[in-house]
Amino acid sequence: MPVTRPTAAEVLRAIIDLLDEAAAAENASAPAALVRIDRLPATADDEVQFSLQRLEPGQHPLAVLRGFVAPPTWAGIGVVAGGRCQSMDDPSRVGRARVIVVLARDGTMASGLRVDGDPMVVDVAPAGATVIGDIPLALCRALGVPVVTGPTPGLPDSPQGDTG
């Protein structure tokens, strides 16, 4: 019987789950971290290798990603960060959030958002999907992944057309 290998989307979702579980055990004010994905499953085995690099307290991931080019040996890159959030539907709703974004070199991207104690909401986008947000765009640029940008949902006048 042929062995079915996990897709990049399945692997990225699993990485998000692992990172979320690890972050839940830490202090909510832990600094952001960059994720280095050294290896995604290809054809030989199912082993995935990734590591974290903690940023200095208060250091924004974009400060590190701006101008950074990941070595060609990296299979992917990502960010784990926490912060304060506010509902666009109800501005009186304020809470703590954890955001995790990981990108594979093939352009597959997964992102997760956990607000307070609510379940993690995960979205996986295939290569070529519209990229929205400064951090996802910076991750694409770091890996050299071509991007299509679009309007930010709920902001009709947001810019379009950045091809990275």
**109-158: pLDDT as tens digits:** 999 999 887 899 999 999 989 998 999 999 999 999 998 776 655 545 44
pLDDT score recorded for residue 164:
41
Q: Which amino acid is at 10?
A: E
Reported as a pLDDT band with limits 50, 70 and 90, residue 41 is low
* CA 30 to mean position of chain CA atoms: 17
For residue range 73-82, list pLDDT tens digits in order.
Answer: 898 999 999 8
The domain locations on the chain are: 8-149
pLDDT score recorded for residue 161:
43
- Which distant-in-sequence residues (6+ apart) come within 8 Å of 131 by Cβ? 109, 137, 140, 147, 148, 149
Contact 106, 127 (CB under 8 A): yes
Q: Strand 33-39's sheet: what is its strand order?
A: 49-54, 33-39, 76-86, 94-104, 109-115, 121-125
pTM of the model: 0.82
